Amino acid sequence: MNPTISILLAAYNSEDLLMKVFLPGFSKNTNPAYRVQLIIYDNGGNGKLQEVKERCSHLVDIVNVVGDGKNVGLNAALNECAKVADGEYFYLPHTDIYLMPGWDTALMEACKGMPPRSFLLCSRSIEPTKGHTDLHVIRDYGKDPSDFKEEDLLKDFKDYSDHVIVFAARMPFFMHRDLWKKMNGVDPDYFSYCTDDDLIQTAYDVGVRKFWMINNSLIYHLQGKSNAQQTVDKDSNKPYIHFVNKWRDRGYKDANHPGYWHPKLLPLGLKVKG
């Protein structure tokens, strides 16, 4: 039987993040009712990735490591992961994310009955400090793998429930594989930065109008630890210039710095599904 969900995960210099944050959440909190496949692309600097299978022994038959340790960038790595993904749905977290209990169940319940190419969903973050949006839960359970307080996090949030669905889009994204195909994956011309913004804009361009944050699909996010590992395009305007030129060429004349490129796409005001 094919997996229900394929997790596409690019990893670069992420050994601590994988072993202390991502893998514990994945192995402990994935619902056994769903067959969830984990595909890790090795962009290098990740130690012995064969230990992944040992960490996820009860899921060993659906853990796959691809890549040869050469850093091809986030988006190119995700495209390679998708080539070997068998799941009906794709989930795109980062290595600095801890998956909370119910993360997968909430997403699967939310997309029931919707046409496969009509939606782009995302989980809600618990983050140590205020980030790019007011929609996250702000609680500090550590800002680094060395001080990540997993037990406290699970104790405080094991009964957390919020079934509100908000009109918003942030990583980690969840979509049907048919939407991924319609989008032709993600643009490999982005190495690391600006990738999320381009994915959202591409989804809009191919007809998606349901951009929903599923509040009871919770993750803990260490905030920027996976991106901070990168060196290519860091502190550079290149990816943003590419974004603006690309979408202006495609007819979005108001394209600007990501977050402001298409004012009608994601309104700043909060919209809740009734």
DSSP assignment of 71-100 equals ---HHHHHHHHHHT---SEEEE--TTEEEP
Q: Are 170 and 125 in contact (CB under 8 A)?
A: yes
Longest dimension (CA), the chain: 51
Q: Domain locations in the chain? A: 5-249
Which alpha helices (H) appear in 18-89, and where do they start and end? 23-29, 51-55, 74-83
Compute φ and ψ for 155, nearest 5 degrees: -65, -45
Q: pLDDT tens track of the chain, all 274 residues? A: 677 999 999 999 888 899 899 999 998 999 988 889 999 999 988 887 777 666 665 654 578 889 988 999 999 999 999 999 999 999 999 999 999 999 999 999 999 999 999 999 999 999 998 766 778 888 999 999 999 999 999 998 876 778 888 888 889 999 999 999 999 999 999 988 888 989 999 999 999 989 999 999 999 999 654 555 556 665 578 888 899 999 999 998 888 877 666 656 655 455 666 4
Other CB atoms within 10 A of residue 203 CB: 24
pLDDT score at 32 = 86
Judged by DSSP in three states, 35 sits in coil
Tokens of 257: 């710095």
pLDDT score at 270 = 53
Judged by DSSP in three states, 240 sits in helix
pLDDT score at 274 = 47
Judged by DSSP in three states, 266 sits in coil
Tokens of 51: 């230990």
pLDDT score at 81 = 97
pTM of the model: 0.92
Which sign does the torsion angle of CA 242, 240, 263, 224 carry? Answer: positive
Domain 5-249 fold: Spore Coat Polysaccharide Biosynthesis Protein SpsA; Chain A (3.90.550)
| 137 bridge partner residues | 126
Half-sphere exposure for 96 (CA within 13 Å, toward CB) = 23
pLDDT score at 102 = 94
pLDDT tens per residue, range 29-60:
999 888 899 999 999 888 877 776 666 656 54
Q: Are 221 and 127 in contact (CB under 8 A)?
A: yes
Q: Are 126 and 141 in contact (CB under 8 A)?
A: yes
Judged by DSSP in three states, 118 sits in coil
- Specify burial of residue 81 (Cβ count, 10 A radius: 0-12, 13-18, 19+): buried
Compute φ and ψ for 267, nearest 5 degrees: -60, 145
Compute φ and ψ for 189, nearest 5 degrees: -75, -15
pLDDT score at 226 = 53
